[in-house]
Amino acid sequence: MKRSGVADLPLHSGRVPTWLATRMAKLGTAVTETIVHDYGASAFLSRLSDPFWFQALGAVMGMDWHSSGVTTSVMGALKHGLEPQADELGIYICGGRGRFSRNTPQELRSIAERRGFDGEALVRTSRLTARIDNNAIADGFQIYLHNFVLTSAGEWAVVQQGLNDQSGLARRYHWHSASVRDFVAQPHTGIVGRNQGTIMNLVDFGARPAQAAMLEVAHEHPDKALESARHLRMPAHHEVRAGNVDLKRLGAVLAIAY
């Protein structure tokens, strides 16, 4: 069974010491080589997209803290260790944390050019996974780490992480192309994490009416929504009030969506 999902982790500061990062790269590379040689690259992606297996891999590699640093250190070590033999193994790891995540599109285009893939399609997929976990799943976590793992057969997995400033938690999201049938219809095969109450998941099967309503609004000319907003009257409670609506900014958002 192929699983992907979500893991919630406490946020810890600091960085992995050089000696540990070096050992993690060596051990992570050896584990990956063994799985790829014995079971194939697809099996490695399947495991990488399981949040529990990923957490266990981090502990085996030496990062046994249950923190956000597991994601950063494991993916950083794998990228560093596997890069010299990426063509041999047929596994390419793109992206990273912060500014390195923004390098993902160019890295994917470079690999696509060498391997004969549709680079723009891969870039679009990468951006979609980030947008969905960052925006469509309104759980309060903002993506700051994005790793796109690609095989020579065109199969992919995504491991990315978001931060919730209020709770001080990081949340890791896992994807595997083998499990994705539709990006806007339950693309995650599982969500695992501490229950924090009801969240707005706009890619859940039950969100079809909301998706249709948003598309309907986006297809309308912005002037129609702006005219309604100009006459907005809200009751005296804590929800959004007319004075909170910036019509100029709202118009710009509606124009872009339109």
Where are the domains positioned within the chain? 6-200, 220-257
In the chain, the DSSP E strands lie at 6-10, 91-97, 137-138, 142-151, 156-164, 169-176, 200-201
Pair of tokens at residue 200:
């707005």
Residues 6+ away with beta carbon under 8 Å from 43:
35, 36
Average pLDDT over residues 71-77: 94
Average pLDDT over residues 61-79: 87
Instruction: Say whether pLDDT at 146 is over 90.
Output: yes
Instruction: Please say whether the dihedral angle defined by the alpha carbons of residues 21, 163, 52 and 155, taken in this order, is positive or negative.
Output: negative
Instruction: Say whether pLDDT at 193 is over 60.
Output: no
pLDDT at 2: 45
Distances in Å between the alpha carbon of 194 and those of 25, 52, 186, 217?
30, 14, 19, 34
Of residues 195 and 77, more confidently modeled: 77
pLDDT band, residue 105 (cuts 50/70/90): very high
pLDDT at 1: 41
